Structure 1
């Protein structure tokens, strides 16, 4: 079968590889659409980063070294069912929760498998990926999506990231939240908050991204922090109280600082962004307002609820798709295109 495999920095190839076999307890899927992610860009342009293996060091759970099949945000159609598989039928539209976990570490045993001590990702760490003609996955990671279009279903994975972040804080309808950064995860986080009835303030320096946020309708207030004092504006909009929660989806110090200052007493800052440099934390601000700073990684038990949000019409994923490409020339049409047009793109999806 055909598959896009990652060999290392700026090296992806369309290869012929052996088709995987369906085993007991597994499901064979024909991938439909695969979303391109910031993690893919980091790997492609920067080279190896965990949880990807190297050419010599295998991932501890998949046992694979490079090259590995790429693509972890994907939808597909069920082709075969292994012995013992229940709750699915051939032809079902599904998405895959693309995790590889040990099931043995304390986090896994507590149900927090997203922070497994050896955690990996299908499509990054091995075990196949969405950029292939077929993939075999354990039944527990396969989630039916009903009649949800398969292109939209490819966005369930990043939506689950956003949902996990929102579910990790104490926020309810009528509260006020600030989202720092209107990239794909920031926009989806704002969409989840809106679906929950939260008044949402989106802060973004890029005019293009602010326009996208407005078009998507994910922010009650959309602010350019280079022109408007974000902290002062939040206090103005909240009658001097401050925001209940804030979400760092940017991963830069100025956003981190402004979000912390925008919170009300006993507010919570949730970090979803990946930081390339460790941010500095002003403990005096935390102490005198009893703030909480927490972080959210990936997802655990979130794909089902994310699918329901979409199926119930609370979130429309279609407008988040800004480009559809063929995977045959993914380096140029996908990764290079995204880097050169990152402000104007929300989600680019690829088809084999």
Structure 2
């Protein structure tokens, strides 16, 4: 079968590899769609990061570069391994793409397990291939009412959902999101679906318009033209936002959130930072703000899937491109790197059947 394989920095190749089979306790999946994630971009430009370098196998998967990439995947069940009886061939599914030792899979915070990594980064196959075999534990069924292209966004949507959980699972109040890239936009979708008033600060006019058109933001501001903290106080009778979400890894955005949230408010940092930010932490002290980290997801997929099945979210506006596997670099990675404000989520069809 054909797969996109990471060999090194700026070296992704479409190759023929062996087709996997469903071993005991596993599910073989025909991949319908796989999204290109910001983490994939970092691996392409600067890796290896999560990908184990050649000759240094991951302690759980045993794999090292080259590896098949892709972890935001949806598809249908192609075959069931021995012992798997609660799914059926042809059923729509998504993958929670973890590589975690079995003894930690049911931990409360299994996303923080030792040596945790991700399918499609740390090995064990990847979604940018025609088929993948995954342990049943990480396979989530999805109702036929959910289109498979939208289902491919359940993985990044679960990242946003976990950020909402880390904020205290609020179902009312006011939120300010710094950045309307893929994770910022999906965070807005989760918050709006949970009942919050949602405001977004974003430089890109196209991205501001996207969250407004999608109905996931009550308003979106250009911080070059609007004093966002002052605007939030105006909109909240002088209090400020209850929660803030940092989705840019830009120092001034985090600093803005410290001004925009109310005293004793909460800020959740969703960004992966490639540098040490310079931020006025005195603001955090004097306002008793809670600054919380979040990574990936844990026990989030079930609620995220239900939100889609119940019609609480419409993810179609966030799908801005669909491409074939052969076009993954030119129309995928290059677009997201050089024309990122025009794209939210680009999906790849490994088989080409969805195009």
Q: Shorter-normalised TM-score: what interval? A: over 0.9
Indicate if the aligned counterparts of 2:335 and 2:343 stay in contact, CA closer than 8 A.
no
Cα 1:171/1:300, change in 2 over 3 Å: closer
What are the within-5 Å matches in structure 2 for residues 266-345 of structure 1? 266-345=264-343
- 1:64 aligned onto 2:63: yes
Q: 1:173 deviation in Å?
A: 3.2
- Choose which of 210, 213, 216 in structure 2 pairs with 1:215: 213
Return the alpha-carbon distance in structure 2 between the equivalents of residues 142 and 334 of structure 1. 26
Aligned to 1:16: 16
Aligned to 1:116: 113
Return the alpha-carbon distance in structure 1 between the equivalents of residues 268 and 51 of structure 2. 26
Return the alpha-carbon distance in structure 2 between the equivalents of residues 336 and 86 of structure 1. 42
Indicate if the aligned counterparts of 2:92 and 2:143 stay in contact, CA closer than 8 A.
yes
Q: 1:215 deviation in Å?
A: 1.3
With normalisation by structure 2, the TM-score equals 0.95
Matched position secondary structure for 1:273:
coil
Return the alpha-carbon distance in structure 2 between the equivalents of residues 22 and 284 of structure 1. 54
Return the alpha-carbon distance in structure 2 between the equivalents of residues 109 and 204 of structure 1. 37
Aligned to 2:353: none
Aligned to 1:36: 36
Aligned to 1:139: 136
Moved more, 211-220 or 314-323: 211-220
Q: 1:112 deviation in Å?
A: 1.0
| CA RMSD in angstroms, aligned pairs only | 1.3
Matched position secondary structure for 2:164:
helix
* 4+ residue runs over 6 A deviation: none
Can you list the C-alpha shifts for 1:179-199, whole angstroms capped at 9, x where unaligned?
Answer: 000001000001111011101
Cα 1:276/1:158, change in 2 over 3 Å: same
What are the within-5 Å matches in structure 2 for residues 241-252 of structure 1? 241-252=239-250
Q: 1:109 deviation in Å?
A: 6.4
Indicate if the aligned counterparts of 1:171 and 1:245 stay in contact, CA closer than 8 A.
no
- Choose which of 174, 181, 190 in structure 1 pairs with 2:188: 190
Can you list the C-alpha shifts for 1:207-257, whole angstroms capped at 9, x where unaligned?
Answer: 121111211111112111111101111111110111111000111100000
Q: 1:280 deviation in Å?
A: 3.1
With normalisation by structure 1, the TM-score equals 0.96
Q: Which runs of 5+ in 1 are unaligned?
A: none
Return the alpha-carbon distance in structure 1 between the equivalents of residues 169 and 229 of structure 2. 19
Can you list the C-alpha shifts for 1:64-104, whole angstroms capped at 9, x where unaligned?
Answer: 11110111101011011111113211110100000101244
The count of corresponding residues between Structure 1 and Structure 2 is 349
Aligned to 1:46: 46
